[in-house]
Structure 1
Amino acid sequence: MGLSALEANKATLELEHPDTLNSINSLGLVLCSRAGTKEAETMHRRALETKKRVIGSENPDTLTSMANLASTYRNQGRWKEAEELEVQVMEMSTRVLGSEHSDTLTSMNNLAFKLKGQGHKDKAISLMEKCF
């Protein structure tokens, strides 16, 4: 279904249209749920790079794509890369949306999870307390 939606959007809209990019991103999420496949990474990278170019790096939709790529890295066991990307998402979300915005708090939670996964329990707990 994800492939069908993407193909339909590509046929009727431009490749850089937000709906097409969201289809790419959604397909990446489906693929990511299958153990963080290389295809998921490709989809998330494609959506992220296009969104950066078309709507800017600090647009909330771009930050969502960046967070999705970080999750794919986590699913692939690439914890350090996931953490680095999630730090960027959290910092940009804080700057663009504010420290109490739900997207910022979600990025803090995601970063805490990635820190915990790397064995940084104290840092993870501290960040979760701040988030709470």
Structure 2
Amino acid sequence: MSFVPKRCTSDAASNEQNLNQLPPTYMYSVIFKDIVLEINDDDAKSIKALETYCKKQNIPDAEINELKSKYHQKSPVWWYTCEMFLYGMLNCGLRSLDMEAMSKLGFFIRSLHLQLKQLHQQQSANFKKSFTVYRGQGMTKEDFQNLLDSKGGLLSFNNFLSTSMEPKVAMEFVERTMKKNPDVV
């Protein structure tokens, strides 16, 4: 997550000096997104490269084999939400800007982005008025302070956001996260 202070987003902030003050992680994530969405790799070749990477990361063979054998039978959103290594590896790689992980998952990032874009186009006509979604997010005290300090500015997320229309779902996620790691707020 990148925090862009309000002073960098004002009308007067469009000059080059203020753009140079944007957080480097924000700039890297924008550049990466542009690149990964333009590259059109062969899925079979990309899955093979991901398999090699996953073995180095000690991902269970059963999960790797399931992805290899059934990847085209399911949608990218299905793979992202199923309980296996993809969700964690993808979000960890995007949050930490781990270039190796992101490059191995580039084909999947592109496919997931395109499916979400398509779903948005299909479903946006059904929603005539805005609605609220909820997200539970654990963060370090430092990140929380940065969030408070950038009030009125912009937030840039380096990952896909899972949300719910039910506040209870988001709260349950927060509770689980805080039990696992008491240092998060």
**TM-score by structure 2 length?**
0.24
- The structure with more helix, counted as a fraction of residues: 1
Q: Which has the higher contact order (CA 8 A, sep 6+)?
A: 2
Greater radius of gyration (CA) = 2
